[in-house]
């Protein structure tokens, strides 16, 4: 039986203090619930709606900060990469390299991530079905990937909205054993907030529980101690204080 995967952290690296706050809580939850939450944060949000939106500290400073989290707290690290040249540098620090949904068919990006030997987590594009993900996985596997995960994050539904077809989860489990539900990006309303993505975090727990009913083997949560003050995906991030109880419920 595949062990459940939990991934959590702020959408983007805002400060070292934020990373410490979140990491300390993840360590506490790991110990109390006997789980392993992988720490997630982005060094660059290269696909923000507006050019004026906060993107993060960049790859060099960002990876240094993620490396500090790994060294201080002993957490495994996940971050996303947007260009093939970033894979090798990110792999020096990170245990899991994530391919953003918009880029999941970018062959050079998949090949570069696979060749690092790290776990490759490919997020399903908003314009693809679960079954379509056999081809990105094939690109990674044929390039030497040791382990590939897939992540569901909803599909485009008309303008400025997403819908989750939970049938994608069992469909993707026919491709790889580890299929993760992105419980926070799936509640987005892309570009619906005057040049930024908005959404509704109150649906995050329901997304997680529905995904479990469909056989998900992992859960991805963007969390923040004060989400409304977050510099990216503020409307969708889960309050850090609510993460433990939700994981407890999923484990039951």
Q: DSSP states of 166-233 as a string? A: TTHHHHHHTT-S-EEEETTGGGEETT-SSSS-EE-GGGHHHHHHHHHHTT--EEEEEEESSGGG-SSS
160 vs 170, residue with greater confidence = 170
205 vs 45, residue with greater confidence = 205
> pLDDT value at position 195?
57
Q: Examine the pLDDT at 88 and tell me if it is beyond 80.
A: yes
Name the pLDDT band for 189 (thresholds 50, 70, 90): confident
User: CB–CB of 28/65 below 8 Å?
Assistant: no
Neighbours of 209 (CB within 10 A): 16
Q: What is the per-residue pLDDT across 94-127, written as a single tens digit (0 to 9) for each?
A: 999 999 999 999 999 999 999 999 999 999 999 9
User: CB–CB of 9/37 below 8 Å?
Assistant: no
The residues that bridge with 169 in the sheet, in sequence order, are none
Q: Examine the pLDDT at 28 and tell me if it is beyond 60.
A: yes
Name the pLDDT band for 76 (thresholds 50, 70, 90): very high
User: CB–CB of 141/164 below 8 Å?
Assistant: no
E-strand stretches of the chain: 5-9, 37-40, 77-80, 96-99, 119-123, 148-152, 155-156, 162-163, 179-182, 188-189, 198-199, 218-224, 238-239
Structure tokens at 100: 């953003």
- What is the distance of C-alpha 68 from the center of its chain? 20
Q: What is the per-residue pLDDT across 126-167, written as a single tens digit (0 to 9) for each?
A: 999 999 999 999 999 999 999 999 999 999 877 778 899 999
User: CB–CB of 197/50 below 8 Å?
Assistant: no
Residue found under tokens 């998900």: 216
Strands 96-99, 119-123: parallel, antiparallel or unpaired by DSSP?
A: parallel
- pLDDT averaged over every residue in the chain: 93
What percentage of the chain has pLDDT greater than the value 70? 95
């Amino acid at each position: 039986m595949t062990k459940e995967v939990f991934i959590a952290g702020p959408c983007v690296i805002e400060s070292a203090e934020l990373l410490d706050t979140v990491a300390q809580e993840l360590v506490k939850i790991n110990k109390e619930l006997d789980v392993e939450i992988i720490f997630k944060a982005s060094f660059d949000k290269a696909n923000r709606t507006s050019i004026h939106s906060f993107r993060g500290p960049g790859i060099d400073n960002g990876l240094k900060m993620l490396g500090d989290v790994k060294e201080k707290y002993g957490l495994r690290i996940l971050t996303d990469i947007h260009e093939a040249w970033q894979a090798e540098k990110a792999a020096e620090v990170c245990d899991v390299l994530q391919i953003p949904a918009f880029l999941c068919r970018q062959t050079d990006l998949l090949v570069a991530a696979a060749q690092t030997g790290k776990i490759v987590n490919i997020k399903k594009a908003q314009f693809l079905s679960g079954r379509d993900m056999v081809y990105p996985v094939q690109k990674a596997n044929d390039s030497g990937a040791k382990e590939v995960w897939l992540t569901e994050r909803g599909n485009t539904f008309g303008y400025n909205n997403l819908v989750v077809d939970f049938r994608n989860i069992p469909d993707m489990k026919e491709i790889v054993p580890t299929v993760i539900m992105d419980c926070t990006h799936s509640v987005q309303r892309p570009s619906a907030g005057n040049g930024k993505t908005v959404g509704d975090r109150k649906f995050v727990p329901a997304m997680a529980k529905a995904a479990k009913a469909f056989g998900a083997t992992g859960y991805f949560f963007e969390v923040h101690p004060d989400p409304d003050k977050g510099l990216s995906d503020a409307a969708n991030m889960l309050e850090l204080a609510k993460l433990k109880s939700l994981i407890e419920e999923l484990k039951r």
